[in-house]
Amino acid sequence: MSAKNGVPTALPRNRYALSQSEFPREVAEFITFVGAATLDKKTRKIEQRLQALKPTIRAIYGDRYFFQEECLRFTYGIPAFSLDIANPQAVRAAALVAGINRISRSLSAKAADRFRSMIIDNLGRDIRQLEHEICCWTHFVRKGFRVTFADLEGADRFDLLVETPAGHVAVECKTMGDDTGDQIKTDSLVNLTAIFDRTAEALLTNVDSGQFTLTLKKAADECKNLPGRFEAALKAGINNPFETEDFSLAFSPKPE
């Protein structure tokens, strides 16, 4: 580690491979950095959220919570702290663990505290944006450039400052979310689907096939208590089109 204007910077490392024999040490370092109790609490909360859903509904999330799920397997699998290199998601999570460790070693004490808080916050939700930022850091450092986490070090408001032979480059790491541009975001979609799954079954007993159409009259986040009112609309019965100032719900029997 070196410093420029008092701000620590990450120097290129010679090794970026991670063998199975090294993995237990990497996991232990990651757990020590984040905090065992905090990591367990965050990952258990995600586990409980996912286990409450049917597999078909859970699949809507895709790989959003891949890291939290793999952390549980790393910690509680048999044997513990083992890496299954045949599992792409496990290898992906292991790469993220190793990246977090490398970055934490390169930061000043205050920046490391900020980085830890960032990781803990992301453990409770979609961690893929942070994963992208860590991948960017790894890419630039492997190219032989000096890289500073500018925002973490309090040097500037962008993510990375990359020192290249041609000059300094400010980098802001952003990704397109899987629900970017969607009127109903993924969490809301999962919630509505779960409500439909548990409610519609009773409604559709001895009823011919058909299609429910939910039409929003305004942005989903502007609708008041959309999940609760959606459930009430379903329970009103398939023969009663439901109209509110926020949405409408109608059932159309399948044509002959």
Q: Which two tokens stand for residue 212?
A: 């429910």
Residue at a domain's end among 143, 170, 195: 143
| The residue type at 1 | M
Residue 153 lies in a domain: no
Q: Looking at residue 100, what is its pLDDT?
A: 96
27 token code pair = 């996991």
Distance CA 132, CA 130 (A): 5
Q: Give yes or no: residues 43 and 109 share one domain.
A: yes
Question: 209: domain range?
Answer: 186-253
User: Are residues 115 and 195 located together in one domain of the fold?
Assistant: no
Q: How far apart are CA 126 and CA 105, in angstroms?
A: 24
Would you say residue 1 lies in a domain?
no
Name the DSSP class of 13: P
If asked whether residues 106 and 192 sit together in one domain, one would say no
What pTM value is reported for the model?
0.82
The dihedral region occupied by 92, where left means phi > 0, alpha psi between -120 and 50, and beta the remainder, is: alpha
Same domain, 227 and 124: no
Q: Which helix (H) or strand (E) element contains residue 160?
A: strand 160-164
What pLDDT sits at residue 14? 46
Residue 80 has what pLDDT?
86
Q: What residue type is assigned to position 186 of the chain?
A: T
Tokens for 25?
Answer: 């040490």
As a whole number of Å, the CA-based R_g of the chain is 23
What DSSP state is assigned to residue 10? B
Shared domain check, 199 and 109: no
Tokens 């040097």, residue located: 155
pLDDT 10s per residue in the chain (256 long)?
A: 445 445 444 443 445 566 777 899 999 999 999 999 999 999 999 999 999 999 999 999 999 999 999 999 999 988 889 999 899 999 999 999 999 999 999 999 999 999 999 999 999 999 999 999 999 999 999 999 999 999 999 999 999 999 999 999 999 998 887 777 777 889 999 999 999 988 877 777 766 778 889 999 988 888 989 999 999 888 887 777 888 899 999 888 887 7
Alpha helix (H) ranges present in the chain? 23-34, 36-51, 55-58, 66-76, 88-106, 109-123, 128-142, 186-203, 226-235
In three-state secondary structure terms, 37 is: helix
pLDDT at 136: 96
Q: Do 248 and 255 meet the contact criterion of CB atoms below 8 Å apart?
A: no
Report the pLDDT value the prediction gives residue 13, as an integer from 0 to 100: 43
- Return the pLDDT at 83: 92
176 falls within a domain: no
Quick check: 40 and 75 in contact, CB under 8 A? Answer: yes
How much is the pLDDT for 38? 97
CA nearest 246: which of 229, 254, 235?
A: 229
> Of 126, 143, 160, which residue constitutes the final position of a domain?
143
Name the domain count of the chain. 2
DSSP letter string over 208-253? --EEEEEEESS-GGGSTTHHHHHHHHHHT-TTS-EE-SSEEEEEEE
